[in-house]
Structure 1
């Protein structure tokens, strides 16, 4: 391979493909980045078996020149560092001998030991008809990931709970995650009627990486699901994630069908109050009281002290209530909320607290299970 390309174009591509290249992967080949010079441009790939990324730099990109096609796999860590430290402008990449990549930029020259590209795993082909692809605004997908993946479990004891459950119905899309203590759900109307599909579960850690790669929030992403893979495409970027095996537990019975009390408050003030009272509590237990026109937060730690904060209630109905909650989990959920106001619904001491966006309660739903305390 022999090609000339700008440092800026290469760095732009590396910010994407580096996310699926692990420096400590037990398979050395998967610690690398697959570089391919093709007749129509430069292709970079990475793969950690769970997440694979491909980014294409078209031949018409500024200053790019292909002289000889070819490919090689280079260590991601050293290749990234070297490209970052080279001077701006054009550079030449060449494989003059097997598994050695020569990099030339100005007065700088580098020879980097690589690996055989023929052994690098390719991105699986999905047999998906173009009309069946799901299309979504990049910003909407980023928002969904932020709002739902927060409730996925961090424990591998039940692997399926480390993912986000995704279901496509005729007229809506639903995303759900739960760790057994909290639950997050987003429902989105479909732009057009679609054929319902079997639900799938996507690893939340992969979704977080995908979210970081969707830089153009005004762009459009295409989502394809087939077999054990999900592919996301936008512009010159393609991302493929493995799916989690196993049936996702039914969560509909966890949602209270009635409630004893309901309060609506300003989202920003609620988040700020919850963050302040969580500072003093080492065990993350926060007491929440709905008293008249006030929502009162309290946390108390014998070694540190006590903090109390209040949020004015904008709308309320039902009886006063008191709950103890995991402050860390509560803050994480509240930070995900969009909209100026949020509604809290209380259904009893042993029922989860329901949290909804006040402006559109059907679009999102959060549950957090109370903590049982001696008091």
Structure 2
């Protein structure tokens, strides 16, 4: 292998794939980055078995020249730290002797001991069953994942709830996440209505890592479900995730079908108010009090003090209400909503409140269970 590549392109590729490196794995090869130089370009791959990330730099990219093909797996931590500290604009990667990678940049030269690339787990490994593919706008997928992944549970006591449910039928893609206290739901329309049905559960932590790699450009991401894995492919990046086995809880009876009051408020104002009053909230519990034209937010901590904040209500339909919530969980929902104003529906003292982006046309919905206080 003999490759000449710009430092910027190399660092971009490394920073993508290193998110999937199994740093504490007992299998040494999973602590490395697989480098494959071929006629079509150079591919960098890392895997922790649950998540595999592949960054591809095509041969026609001006930042890359492949003079000789080959492959090797090298320790990720040393490779990342060394390349990051190079001063040169270009980096030469060369295998001059078996399992040794020579790295040259400017006046710096070093050799890294590598591992056998044939022992590295390959993406799409195993006999493939017929797959299901769908395509979605990359920016839309990115915003959707950010809204849902934050709501999934982080407790392994209920593995199903650590995932995001992805259900697809015809031209509609439904995504659901819940931790038992909050619930997020989003429905997306797909341009390709001829696809087969899909019903899988994807680890939320893997989706969150994916969202950080997706850009906001008007591009397309292909999603392919094959065997017990799901692949996301877009613009030189391929991410493969394991799936969670089981049945996701039904939300049919969870979403309130009627409400006693609906208010509309500016999201930025509400976000700041929630963040402010949560600082003084004992166990993060804040109180919302809605009257004719004002939404009051209150909290207190015994022997410390209390706080009150008010924001104007843009619209109100129904009776006044008062309810207590976990401010931190409420803040996380609001922070990831892409809208200028939100609608809050009060459905009863012991029922979840419904939070809707004002521009969603009911394609997005969030629930948060109230905290019962004296």
Normalised TM-score (structure 1): 0.95
Decide whether the 8 Å contact of 1:166 with 1:173 is kept in 2: yes
Contact 1:128/1:224, CA 8 A, preserved across alignment = no
Q: Who is 2:134 aligned against?
A: 134
Conserved? CA contact 2:2–2:93, under 8 Å:
yes
What is the 5 A alignment of 1:331-342? 331-342=331-342
Larger mean Cα displacement after TM superposition, 83-92 or 347-356: 83-92
SS of residue matched to 1:180: coil
- CA distance in 2 between partners of 1:287 and 1:145 (Å): 29
Match of 1:105 in 2: 105
**Residue pair 1:169, 1:194 contacting (<8 A) in 2 also:** no
Rounded to whole Å, the distance in 1 between the matches of 2:151 and 2:63 is: 45
Separation in structure 2 between the aligned mates of residue 216 and residue 329 of structure 1, nearest angstrom: 26
- Aligned pairs for 1:224-303 within 5 A: 224-303=224-303
| Aligned length in residues | 372
Q: Deviation of residue 291 (structure 1)?
A: 1.7
Q: Is contact 1:8–1:88 with CA below 8 Å preserved after alignment?
A: no
Q: Distance in 2 between matches of 1:209 and 1:128?
A: 27
Q: How big is the alpha-carbon RMSD for the aligned residues of Structure 1 and Structure 2?
A: 1.6
Deviation, 1:114, is 1.4
Q: Which residue matches 2:152?
A: 152
Q: Given the two structures, how large is their TM-score scaled by the length of structure 2?
A: 0.95
Show CA shifts across 1:51-100 (max 9, x none): 11112212222253333221111111100111111123222212222222
For the 8 Å contact 1:148–1:164, the answer to whether it is kept is yes
Give the Cα–Cα distance (whole angstroms) in 1 for the partners of residues 363 and 184 of structure 2: 11
Check conservation: 1:6, 1:91, Cα contact below 8 A.
Answer: yes
The separation in 2 between residues aligned to 1:359 and 1:66, in whole angstroms, is 49
Moved more, 19-28 or 263-272: 19-28
Residue 217 of structure 1 aligns to a residue whose secondary structure is coil
Q: Within 5 Å, which residues of 2 pair with 1:64-79?
A: 64-79=64-79
Deviation at 1:175, TM superposition (A): 0.6
8 Å contact 1:166–1:202 — kept in the other structure? yes
Mapped partners of 2:81, 2:62: distance in 1: 23
How far apart are 1:118 and its partner, in Å? 1.0
Matches within 5 A, 1:199-210: 199-210=199-210
1:306-329: CA deviations, max 9, x gaps? 110111111112221111110101
Answering whether residue 21 of structure 2 is matched by residue 18 of structure 1, we say no
Tell me the SS of whatever aligns to 1:160. Answer: helix
Q: Which secondary structure does the structure 2 equivalent of 1:207 belong to?
A: helix
Match of residue 6 from structure 1: 6
Q: Give the distance between the partners of 1:58 and 1:216, measured in 2 at CA.
A: 21
Q: d(CA) in 2 for partners of 1:128 and 1:216? A: 31
CA contact (8 A) 1:45 1:53 kept: yes
1:305-316 equivalence runs, <5 A: 305-316=305-316
What SS class does the counterpart of residue 210 from structure 2 fall into? helix
* Distance of 1:88 and 1:35 partners within structure 2: 21
- Indicate conservation of the 8 Å contact 2:133/2:195, yes or no: no
SS of 2:224's partner is strand
Choose 161-170 or 4-13, whichever is displaced more: 4-13
Q: Secondary structure at the match of 2:329?
A: helix
Residues 217-271 of structure 1: per-residue CA shift (max 9 Å, x gap): 3221111112211111112111111111111111121111111111111111111
1:35 aligns with 35
Say if 2:349 is the partner of 1:362. no
Structure 1 residue runs of 5 or longer lacking an equivalent are: none
